[in-house]
Amino acid sequence: MGGWTVTGGRDSFERHRERLASLTSWDADWSGLRVVVTGIGVSGFAAADTLVELGASVVVVDGSVTERTQAQAETLRIVGAVDVLLGPDAVQALPLVEGELPDLVVTSPGWRPDQAVLAAAARKHVPIWGDVELAWRVRSRRGKKTAAWLAVTGTNGKTTTVGMAESMLRAGGLKAVAVGNVGTPILDAIREPVEYDAFVVELSSFQLHWAESLSPVAAVVLNVAEDHVDWHGSYESYLADKAKIYRNTQKAAVYNAEQIETERMVEEADVVEGCRAIGFTTRTPGLSMVGVVDGLLVDRAYIPERRDHAAELASVADLGEIAPRHMVANALAAAALVRAVGVEPVAVREGLRNYLPGDHRIQPVATFDGVVWVNDSKATNPHAASASLAAFGSVVWIAGGLSKGVTYDELVARHARRLKSVVLIGVDSSDLAGALKRHAPNVPVIRIDPGDTEGDRPDGASIMARAVERAADAAGTGDTVLMAPAAASMDQFASYAQRGTAFIDAVRRLVEGKAQSKE
């Protein structure tokens, strides 16, 4: 298929559109398709590698020039005829592929629609897919089982939910893997020789923005709250992208019965005929829901006698040492998804017992002198931090960082009564500091000097060590020191994981020092 332009005539445009529409399996004719891939990170690399294997002509662009991007570029050049353009100039305009306008752009999730390459593609009417859209189109391959997709999105809890669902599926004897935004590119899983029964696909709002053809067996929006407004442009646009997960759902559109926005998404979704709406709630479930009764997770959705009975799935105690309300909600959502593909209650329970929570998510770090230290660095927005704060009584809260355009008034007002003290980190946490002044004026606020912010990123380990020391001074018997920043980490740390690790290391040094001083 040669390059094309709108000025080339309607026939050219229609032929192009028809060919792209025909690309719905691995075995379709991808040869000669001219594709620009934006980004050479995990998902971009997987997309480029896949397209080369399919026979497409590929140009990859990425604005950074680092050892990692250069190594990725060299690998792509070795495995196939890929032209890789790196550096700021590479992402200022839509490149040609083999001297002609590309037929398609495949973008990595984090690239905003107004980025120069993507904006140019839109102006020139070049279709833009995300890596998940590409994955959906190549999921079927002659002679190989096609895995069922269970799709998960939400402002918070996605990674936990897909991990729980994966564990339940495996306990039920199915070959399953968690993929997508959780870390393993779905394209890599599709290309593995393993014949999976199911993919549990974690989808960010960015990935959903660029996805149009998905038709999962079951899908869930766990929750929604103001987040990534800087990327989407408005909260309404963010919600609209989240809601796309329900489009063409085949069997179960799972929603949060305690949040009306997700229920409305299901009501307005154009699903496959026969698809059921399944609610989950941490309260007593109604008909066609899963929920909690007397400490038990129960099912009133997937059993024949659901009008009068409920099937026991597990107990709250099966979730481990700390089981806050949002963790119970995640478990119920995961159960609702896997029950849609026939997983039995006994496997739901076994899956929860086998599930190992990821680091930096309501992670107990230490208990010393009556103080509990908890790492929830994954709480990168107010909604996630609110769920963490709700799990504890008297809290010394370590918070702050890159706010991503959100506000903190509702968060602080809701939890002011449980705050004993607040330790603020972050280069600029003035938004959070202002909310604390307005809604918790009597709560002591300790500001950690961000240090020199010119040039390289500040020394995050040193910043966190000082925050932990000041939190220890403020905490007493019965308190919880909770590091749930309600903000992104990139102003002072490389990632939320590095921030969490810095907290763990600082707490352990503090506890070891105190223990030695008592000997």
> Whose structure tokens read 């669902």?
165
- Give the chain's length: 519
CA angle 238, 243, 245 (to 5 degrees): 120
> Whose structure tokens read 């504890």?
392
**Residue 63's beta-bridge partner residues?**
none
Which helix (H) or strand (E) is 291 found in, with range? strand 289-293
Q: Tokens representing 330? A: 């995640």
Q: Is 155 annotated as a binding residue?
A: yes
Residue 181 DSSP label: T
Residue 61's alpha-carbon distances to 44, 72, 74, 121, 357, in angstroms, are 9, 12, 13, 13, 36
- Pairing state between β 289-293 and 296-299: antiparallel
Sign (positive/negative) of CA torsion 293, 296, 301, 303? Answer: negative
Q: Is 249 annotated as a binding residue?
A: no
The pair phi, psi for residue 415, each rounded to 5°, is -115, 10
* SS3 at position 437: helix
Q: Is 145 annotated as a binding residue?
A: no
Which helix (H) or strand (E) is 171 found in, with range? helix 158-171
Q: Is 282 annotated as a binding residue?
A: no
**Residue 104's beta-bridge partner residues?**
35
Q: Is 160 annotated as a binding residue?
A: yes
Q: Is 38 annotated as a binding residue?
A: no
Q: Is 518 annotated as a binding residue?
A: no
Known binding residues are 154-160
Known binding residues for ATP are 154-160
